[in-house]
Amino acid sequence: MTLGPGTEVEAALESAASTRRSGRGAVRWLSTRLAGLLFVLWAAATLTFFAIRLIPGDPAQAILGGPGSQASAAALAQARAEYGLDQPLILQYLGQLGRYVTGDFGTSYSLHESVVQAIGQQLGGTLVLAVASLAVAWVLALAVAVFSVRAGRAAWAVGNGLEIVSAAVPHFWLATVLILLFSSTLGWLPAINVPGPVGLVLPVVTLAVPLAGFLGQVMRESLLNALHSPFVLSARARGESEVGVLVRHALRHAALPAISLSGWAFGSLVSGAVVVETIFARPGIGRTLLRAVQERDVPLVSGIVLVVALAYCLVTVASEVLDRVADPRLAESPR
């Protein structure tokens, strides 16, 4: 699920800008980011731990196969003792933090395997999906941006309209339409996860189109700004061709805000993956999360939340690193 054009994107850009502003030396920057990352992970773990305790229902019951189970009182008590659920909350919390530090995320109630193992199995699928979608969204957004900036006013309006509409499309609706069209009616593409890249097409398009709508709006604006900036005029005055202007100057500037948005985009892709993985029957974190939440699988939910938070932080840091590569101004100390 993604947020519509504007707010969320702006918020993400703002956050990127706030880290940008503190342009510092690489080492100090990295250590600050790492400390921030640890803090976010700790806070995410804490928040999740207490939030999940608010969920109605007995975790011991979830352990023994959900509320429909006919577990005996003895079995429930045994499960409580086994999972430390009979201890005071604060001890449970500290114990959990301690186990996280040692890399022990516990055992999933519903999957009957270690959370690390379960997430390990599912993470790959989601990552492939997210990365592919991000790449496709980038390409789409860039294509529309270049087209609408280069091809006159009508194209501008068309590009603008395309972006706004695609950003307003709910994932599950788009997925349904795509399946109906390309799978059911035309039979060109599989509706489900089949081996090879062909099975990735529809889910990736489903995730990429709304995202491209957001990215496109940002890219188009910065592309236009770049094309109207004095340094492009300078480049043209040097005899640079239109293609050269785009490739050597404008695109790089257009890419900057989109790079900054990657962290946010990743978050929205994970949200979207919950829906898309369910519809296209793909294995992955999103679908696992939905299931874990529905089955009150506390260790699995906590584990996934932490992994997603970690991934989000890593992607954010990576996008900042990329940002600094693309825009070396960020890496240098202000004079």
Partner 1 sequence: MPVRPVIRSTIIAFATAGALALSLAACTPQSSTGAGSSDSPVRGGTLTYASGDAEPTCLDPHVGGNYPQALVATQYLEELVSKNTKGQIIPWLATKWTESKDGLSWDFTLRDGVKFTDGTPLDAAAVKANVAHIQDPATGSSTGYLALGKVASTEIVSPRVIRFTLSQPDSALLESLTQPWLAIESPAALKRSKDVNCAHPVGTGPFIVKQWKKQDSITLVRNAGYTSPPADAAHHGPAYLSKIVWRFIPDSATRYAALKAGEVDVIDNAQPDTIVAAHKTKSLTELNAPRPGASNRIELNSGKAPFNDEKVREAFIRAADVNDGIKTLFFGTAKRSYSALSSVEPLGYSEPGLFGYEPKKANELLDAAGYTTRDADGYRTKDGTRLTVVFPVSTNQSIPAEQSLFEQIQATTKKVGFDVKLEPMDLSSWYAALAKNDYDAVSAPYTKVGPDVLRILYDSASITPAPSGYFANLAQVDIPSLDATLEKAAQVSDVAERSALYETAQKTILEGYYILPLYDQQNHYLLRNDVVGLRALPSVSTPLFYDTWLDR
Partner 2 sequence: MRRAASAGPRVALVVCALVVLWLLACAVAPGLVAPGDPLAIHPLQGFEPPSLAHWFGTDESGRDVFTRVVHGAGPSLLIGVAATAIGIVLGVALGTLAGLGPRWLDFGTSRLLEVLFAFPGLLLALLFIVIYGPGITTSTVAVGLATAPGYARIVRSQMLAVRGAPYIEAEVVLGRPPLWRFRRSILPNVAGTLFVLVTLGVGQSIVWASSLSYLGLGAKPPTAEWGAMLSAGRTYIDSAWWLTFFPGLVIVASAAAATVLGRTIQGRVRGS
Partner 3 sequence: MSETTSHSAADRASAAAPSPALLTVSGLSVRFGRTAPPVVDDVSFEIRPGECLALVGESGSGKSVTARTLVGLTGGDARVSAESLVFDGAPLLSASAAAWRRIRGARIGFVLQDALVSLDPLRTVGREIDDALRLHTRLGAADRHRRVIDALTDAGVPDPALRAGQRAGQLSGGLRQRALIASAVVLNPSLVIADEPTTALDVGVQQQVLGLLEKLRAGGTGLLLISHDLSLVARVADRVAVMRDGRIVETGATEAVLGDPQQEYTKTLLAAVPWSQARGTRLTVEARAAAETRAVTDRDDAHGSAALEITDVSKAFRTPAGTLQAVRDVSLRLEPGTTLGLVGESGSGKSTTARIALGLLAPDAGQVRLLDQEWAPLPERERRPRRHLLGAVYQDALSSFDPRWSVGGILTDALTGGASRSIRRYEDEVAALLRSVGLNPDLMRRRTHGLSGGQRQRVSIARAIAPGPRVLICDEPVSSLDVSVQAQVLDLLDELQEQRNLSYLFISHDLGVIRHISDRVAVMSEGRIVETGATETVFSDPRHPYTRRLLTAVPHRRDLTPRQS
243 binds partner 3, rule: CB under 8 A:
no
> Based on CB atoms, which residue is closest to partner 1, 229 or 278?
278
* x-marked contacts with partner 2 along 171-210 as a string, rule CB under 8 A: xxx--xx-xx---x--------------------------
For position 68 contacting partner 1 by CB under 8 A, the verdict is: yes
Q: Which residue lies nearer to partner 2 by CB, 26 or 157?
A: 157
Which one of residues 12, 45, 115, 118 is an interface residue with partner 1 (CB under 8 A)?
A: 118
Shortest approach of partner 3 to residue 186 CB, angstroms? 40
Does position 238 interact with partner 3 (CB under 8 A)? The reply is yes
Determine if 22 is a binding residue for partner 2 (CB under 8 A): no
Residue 59 makes CB contacts below 8 A (sequence gap 6+) with 83, 85, 109, 296, 298
Residue 20: CB atoms within 10 A of its CB come to 17
Complex with partner 2: residue 259 or 275, whichever CB lies closer = 275
Whole-angstrom distance, CA of residue 49 vs CA of residue 47 = 5
Q: How far is the CB of 183 from partner 1 (least distance, A)?
A: 4
Interhelix angle 262-279/7-21, nearest 10 degrees: 140
CA distance linking residue 73 with residue 256, whole number of Å: 59
Between 1 and 30, name the residue whose CB sits nearer to partner 1: 1
Residues from 192 through 211 that contact partner 1 (CB under 8 A): 192-194
Do 300 and 109 form a contact (C-beta atoms < 8 A)? Answer: yes
SS3 content of the chain, % helix, strand, coil (to 5): 75, 0, 25
Long-range contact set of residues 193-201: C-beta below 8 Å, sequence gap at least 24 = 193/125, 193/280, 193/281, 193/282, 193/283, 200/128, 200/129, 200/132
* Sole window of 158-166, 248-256, 298-306, 312-320 interacting with partner 3 (rule: CB under 8 A): 248-256
- Residue 95 contacts residue 87 (beta carbons within 8 Å): yes
Residue of 140, 207, 275, 300 interacting with partner 2 (CB under 8 A): 275
Cα angle 208, 211, 212 (rounded to 5 degrees) comes to 80
Query: Which residue, 11 or 81, is less far from partner 2 as judged by CB?
Result: 11
Q: Which of 183, 225, 251, 331: binder of partner 1 (CB under 8 A)?
A: 183
Kind plus residue range of the DSSP H or E element containing 143: helix 115-150
Does residue 281 touch partner 1 according to CB under 8 A?
yes
Task: Report how far apart, in Å, the C-alpha atoms of 203 and of each of 176, 189, 271, 294, 312 are.
Answer: 11, 11, 13, 23, 21
Cα(116)–Cα(95) distance, integer angstroms: 17
| Exposure of 198 in the CB half-sphere (CA atoms within 13 A) | 9
Binding-site member from 31, 117, 234, 294 for partner 3 (CB under 8 A): 234
221 binds partner 3, rule: CB under 8 A: no
- Using CB under 8 A as the criterion, which residues of the chain lie in contact with partner 3 when the complex forms? 22-25, 229-231, 233-241, 244, 248-249, 252-253, 326-329, 332-335
- Using CB under 8 A as the criterion, which residues of the chain lie in contact with partner 2 when the complex forms? 1-8, 10-12, 14-15, 17-18, 36, 39-40, 43-44, 47-48, 51-52, 54-56, 153-154, 156-157, 160-161, 164-165, 167-173, 176-177, 179-180, 184, 221, 224, 264, 267-268, 270-272, 274-275, 278, 289-290, 293-294, 296, 301, 305, 308-309, 312-313
